[in-house]
Amino acid sequence: MLVTALNRIHRTPGLLTSALLLSFALVAAPLYAQTQTTAAAPAATAPSASEPPAATSDTQAPPTTTQTTSQPQSTTQPQSTEEPITTIKVQVNEVNLIFTVTDKKGRFITGLKRENFGLLDDQRPPEAVLNFTQQTNLPLRVGIMLDTSSSIRQRFQFEQDSAIEFLLQVLHLNDKAFVEGFDISTDVAQGFTNNVDLLNQGIRKLRPGGGTALYDALYKTCRDQMLNLPDPGSVRRALILVSDGDDNYSRAQESDAIKMCQRANTIVYTISTNISPSRDKGDDVLKAISEATGGRAFYPTRIEDVALGFRSIEQELRSQYSLVYRPADFKQDGSFRTIYLQALDPRYHVRAQKGYFAPKPPQ
């Protein structure tokens, strides 16, 4: 009945917010009522990955907004008023959902409690809430992807300088990052490390030139760098893609790249290097990738403002919540499971990934 109602409401956008609130009131009890302590489940078997496939259709949940009831703390106003982001780690029957809350002015909100939220996983309340952290310090695994194609040659130094400054600010003791350039192929100039000097050297080694295989690069990076990390359940994964969004060389389709990012539970932030007065097709591509993976797209009005996009991302990464729960009626069938996370007070908005892929059965 809930599914039918949501489908009907989805065709009537003006009723979506009120209907979601009613659905949460009737179905998703506050999370404190579902909390219990259990042992952690064993790690999931990673989904298999192959070379970029032909174009396929993706199953994705609609975006969600949220609200809350306690008196939280507000941090510094970010550069953009768009809502922040989410990343998801999945074990056999356990989900670690990372999300961010903002007020109507885009300021990050911390200090909320689990009972301030309602949650539906695959249209059902969770079986149990295992852990809730108000301001997570889970280690970061961050990748910087810099477009090194010919089209951004005049803007490349600003990309390099901004990426280096970001890494200096964001990397803490247990965090790691890698840097990569891409044109028709990918060039991992420096693999995962906590050493900012090595990352700096890697960024400075990159040189622009050639065509652009954006979708291939994103697909390959999520598959090779993010999908099989040795600590899949205890880190946050994010990619920062700096590009004009144009692709003229890929075998993979946009949907293939997005699906691989979702399988790798990786959020993608995009920063456009197109500084023309109007957005073009490439900007639409960057927006589609970031929204589908739970990230944000930034559109600097001057190339010098690329640094502001990096700064806003750094603020978000340090203002996130962590919610660990066991989904109801969970099956290891490789299916895409939708997530609706909503606060119970309309003053606040939650940014969370639209869903995740359940692990496939062990072979």
Contacts of 241 (CB under 8 A, 6+ apart): 145, 147, 218, 268, 269, 270, 271, 286, 289
Together in a domain, 331 and 220: no
Together in a domain, 110 and 10: yes
CATH number at 261 reads 3.40.50.410
| 77 inside domain | yes
| 56 inside domain | no
Using CA atoms, how far apart are residues 259 and 252, in angstroms rounded to an integer? 11
Number of structural domains the chain divides into: 2
Show the tokens assigned to 265: 């539970």
| 105 inside domain | yes
| Residue whose tokens read 């999520």 | 222
- In a 3-state reduction of DSSP, which class is residue 221? helix
Query: With the C-alpha atoms ordered 327, 329, 335, 341, is the resulting torsion angle positive or negative?
Result: negative
Together in a domain, 161 and 295: yes
Together in a domain, 147 and 293: yes
- In a 3-state reduction of DSSP, which class is residue 72? coil
Together in a domain, 28 and 70: yes
Together in a domain, 169 and 93: no
Together in a domain, 168 and 313: yes
Q: Which structural domain, as residue segments, surrounds residue 9?
A: 2-39+61-135+319-357
* pLDDT attached to residue 18: 44
| 47 inside domain | no
| 49 inside domain | no
Show the tokens assigned to 21: 């609130």
Together in a domain, 123 and 152: no
In contact, 346 and 24? CB cutoff 8 Å: no
Using CA atoms, how far apart are residues 235 and 354, in angstroms rounded to an integer? 19
pLDDT digits (tens), the chain, 363 positions: 333 333 333 444 444 444 444 444 445 568 865 654 433 333 333 344 444 544 443 433 333 333 333 445 544 444 444 445 555 555 568 998 889 898 999 888 989 999 999 999 999 999 999 999 988 889 999 999 999 998 788 889 889 999 999 999 999 999 999 999 999 999 999 999 999 999 999 999 999 988 999 999 999 999 999 999 987 668 899 999 999 999 999 999 999 999 999 899 899 999 999 888 888 999 999 999 998 888 889 999 888 899 999 999 999 998 989 999 999 999 999 999 999 999 999 999 998 888 899 988 877
> Greatest CA separation found in the chain?
57
| Beta carbons within 10 angstroms of residue 26's beta carbon | 11
Paired sense of beta strands 336-343 and 117-121, if any? antiparallel
- CA geometry: angle 59, 62, 67, nearest 5 deg: 145
- In a 3-state reduction of DSSP, which class is residue 64? coil
Together in a domain, 254 and 128: no
Together in a domain, 85 and 194: no
Together in a domain, 244 and 120: no
| 331 inside domain | yes
| 339 inside domain | yes
* Burial label, 333 (beta-carbon count in 10 A; 0-12, 13-18, 19+): exposed
Together in a domain, 310 and 210: yes
